[in-house]
Amino acid sequence: MERIYFDNAATTALDKEVLDAMLPYMTEKFGNPSSIYSYGREVRLGIENARKTVAKILGANPGEIFFTSGGTESSNTAINAAVNDLGCTYIISSPIEHHATLHSVEHAQSDRVKLDYVNILPDGHIDMAHLEELLKNAPGKTLVSLMHANNEIGNLLDIHAVGNLCQKYDAYFHSDTVQTVGHYKFDLKNTPVHFINGAGHKFHGPKGTGILYINENVKIKPFIQGGAQERNMRAGTENSYGIVGFAKALELADQHMEEQSQYINDLRMYMADQLLANIPGVAFNGDLKGRSLYTVLNVAFPKTEKSEMLLFNLDINGICASGGSACTSGADAGSHVIRAFNNNPDQIAIRFSFSKNNTKEEVNSVVAKLKELI
């Protein structure tokens, strides 16, 4: 049976060119980058060249880029540091964040640290007026943690507008950019943000490798204790082949971003049109035709006995999609993101997310199968 993969917001296939760049560091270049002899030095050179590549593409200084195990560790590090090192006693986040952020800010909440959530508008966007109200009345040093693009509904945050508000009220700003690094151009030198994070497997790089950008004006202590790796910021022997793979994947994504983003968005909108034409009562969660991530289409199907088993039946037919976030797709609780702005019990939400590897023929097959199943 042919398998159709429409869950690229969860993870993407590793590019062959990325694998080729990684292989030498998995075989002959196996030295520990902390070692001073030649085997170690050649691996250290690979890591530092990767750091320069990432920094140049993101418009940052190499000294602001730290390699981690992925987006979750990076978000945890930033939030923990804001509270424990930067003296934040007030956190503003949103109810539609990824659990890597939500659980971190909940964990940071204490008698000393207050947590508030900004309101979500009916289209799934952040209520900017409410955010300013919260900042204006902040009871202490503040961290704002809001994601750049929502992984379930695709809504895009105006990162500059939020950053400017944070500057106005002297707050720290962390943005979870896992869904946008490798998909959008960044110019961090001219973006008012203190922390962002990325994960290689979201743009055809390896799993288990990510970055944390820490603005050069921010001084924090390490989250993971141990050795002096990553300039004393992240202990543990570096994932050298993962780091090289991350940089190569980001380089390829940056080179082909314009044509690939147009292609993927055209595919997404084609599927939206086909669903509207073929399935009565279908709707879309999020700001589909406004500020929206071009890889994600979150579809609301009318709830029936058939649609309640939709994900299961798609899987049986070789179609990979998600009921929201991949991190909760095995649970019955449903999506905390959808509940935050659309608590309609008569709808079933399915997320389809696309990459450069998908085709119109695949969209046609999926829509035909959905028509048959519903």
Q: What is the structure's pLDDT at 327?
A: 53
Checking if the pLDDT of 360 tops 80, the result is yes
- From CA 373, how far away is CA 301, in angstroms rounded? 12
> Tens of pLDDT along 64-113?
999 999 999 999 999 999 999 999 999 999 999 999 999 999 999 999 99
Rounded mean pLDDT, 60-64: 98
> Tens of pLDDT along 146-197?
999 999 999 999 999 999 999 999 999 999 999 999 999 999 999 999 999 9
DSSP-derived pairing of the beta strands 283-284 and 296-302: antiparallel
Q: Indicate the pLDDT class of residue 346, thresholds 50, 70 and 90.
A: confident
Rounded mean pLDDT, 42-58: 98
The answer to whether the 4-12+257-373 and 16-255 domains have the same CATH topology is: no
DSSP per-residue letters across 118-132? --B-TTS-B-HHHHH
Question: Which token pair is 368?
Answer: 């035909």
Quick count: other Cβ atoms within 10 Å of Cβ 374? 18
Checking if the pLDDT of 47 tops 50, the result is yes
Ranges of each domain in the chain: 4-12+257-373, 16-255
Domain 16-255 fold: Aspartate Aminotransferase; domain 2 (3.40.640)
Question: Which of 165, 9, 163, 160 has the alpha carbon at shortest distance from 98?
Answer: 9
Checking if the pLDDT of 231 tops 90, the result is yes
> Tens of pLDDT along 312-324?
999 999 999 998 6
User: Which CATH number applies to 4-12+257-373: 1.10.3720.10, 3.90.1150.10, 3.40.50.800, 3.40.50.20?
Assistant: 3.90.1150.10
Catalytic position from the list 88, 166, 320, 327? 327
> Tens of pLDDT along 260-300?
999 999 999 999 999 999 999 999 999 999 999 999 999 99
Q: What is the structure's pLDDT at 343?
A: 79
CB 178 within 8 A of CB 295: no
Q: What is the structure's pLDDT at 324?
A: 60
Q: Indicate the pLDDT class of residue 331, thresholds 50, 70 and 90.
A: very low
pTM of the predicted structure, to 2 decimals: 0.95
327 is catalytic: yes
Checking if the pLDDT of 325 tops 60, the result is no
